[in-house]
Amino acid sequence: MSKITTFLYYYVVNFSCGKSRLFMNAKTIRITTPYITLGQLLKLANIIGNGGEAKAFLLEHDVLVNGESDRRRGRKLYPGDEVGVLGKAFAIAS
């Protein structure tokens, strides 16, 4: 799938509350710090085994952060951010 197709596939507008939501059925990842990095999220979600795999994984796979492709393992994710990878969706919450 192209990046645009992937984005359109995941983009859903929630009319009932007037908010847009990028990913339906997103698994909530709760954090106790102000942010986590994309590499840390991939480890928490058991997508990669260790932090050393993050760089190679991000070069080979499309990862959407808030609807935009991102390949930076150090990308800071804050509560309210949504991430899509390998057909799975994650929402960051505090």
Q: What is the pLDDT of residue 26?
A: 86
**What three-state secondary structure class fits 94?**
coil
Average pLDDT over the chain, rounded to an integer? 81
Is 5's pLDDT higher than 50?
Answer: no
pLDDT band at 21 (very low <50, low <70, confident <90, very high): low
**What three-state secondary structure class fits 11?**
coil
pTM as predicted: 0.74
- Range 3-93 classified under CATH 3.40.50.720: no
